[in-house]
Structure 1
Amino acid sequence: MSEPHDPTGLELASEIARATVEASEYGVVLPEPAPPRTPRRPKRVFEQQRSGAHPDERDPQQIGDVLNEVVRQRGWKRRINLSTVLRRWPELVGEANAEHSRPVHYDAGVLVVDCDSTAWATAMRYAASQLVAKLNAALGDQTVLRVEFRGPKPPSWKKGLRSVQGLGPRDTYG
């Protein structure tokens, strides 16, 4: 059977003391015990933050300012401005021109506008430079480099029982 455990630890202390005395009698030098470790708190290194008289990122922000910053960071500003201006298409080109044309695509500085007829497309091509200037004033410089006006698409003569080889009749269809 095992010996009963001494909860005070006196027996263990006396055994260590006896072993130390015996070791010193025989010339054995025991290493000195390390000083007891005290738990250290991790050092916190913070930049000193002080509140100032001017607003900073810690202050409450207005939702419009936050959304504008998100739009700027994501690069959406040009697209949003373009959609806003295209909603105002009648103001830019006039009511009569807006009835016969509509912007359909924008990519790499080129705005594509579909017109009801080739006559309207031709008439609007004469005012293209003025329209580019108006768009760039509203959107920011060099947003729109060119405006292309397209007339209606002609019917295809390539299908059907009586289709003809070649380009087919030449007409403006509009």
Structure 2
Amino acid sequence: MAVPEKIIRIDSLFAELFKKRQWDKRLALHAVFRNWPEVVGAEIAERTAPQVIRGTVLWIAVSDSVWMQQLHLQKQMLLEHINAKVGGSEKISDIRFQIDAALGEEKMVVRSPQPPASPQPVDPEEQKGFERLIGAIVDAELRTRLLALWRKAHR
């Protein structure tokens, strides 16, 4: 069995690999994903999401065409904000937008369930009138079920 010449720490291997492949520069660019609401602000972050960086071009999903147009008009300012927040020497060179309708869906409001209302008594005169109305039905089970349904509807 061969004895290794020198033991190398794994963190130094990763550091060397990152430096050799220049991943540290690329990793700095991707900080925009982690800090999106801080970079663009809450209102824009609600309607957008960074998708991918290809080269130095950032692709952003936008909720609808109106927001896409607005952001396209503010593209230079947005690019400056993004690059100000990105550390490292490499910067985002361009921004491209694409529509993703799922971003624009309204957030569902969860409401607490209302306590059930206490059942109101059925007016006996109205019930008698309905019983006369369904009295012509020959099937007794059908009459019983119709009466139960009517009672439920009139609570």
TM-score, normalising length from structure 1? 0.45
Q: Which structure has the higher relative contact order (CA within 8 Å, separation 6+)?
A: 2
Higher helix share: 2
State which structure, 1 or 2, has the greater radius of gyration over its C-alpha atoms.
Answer: 1
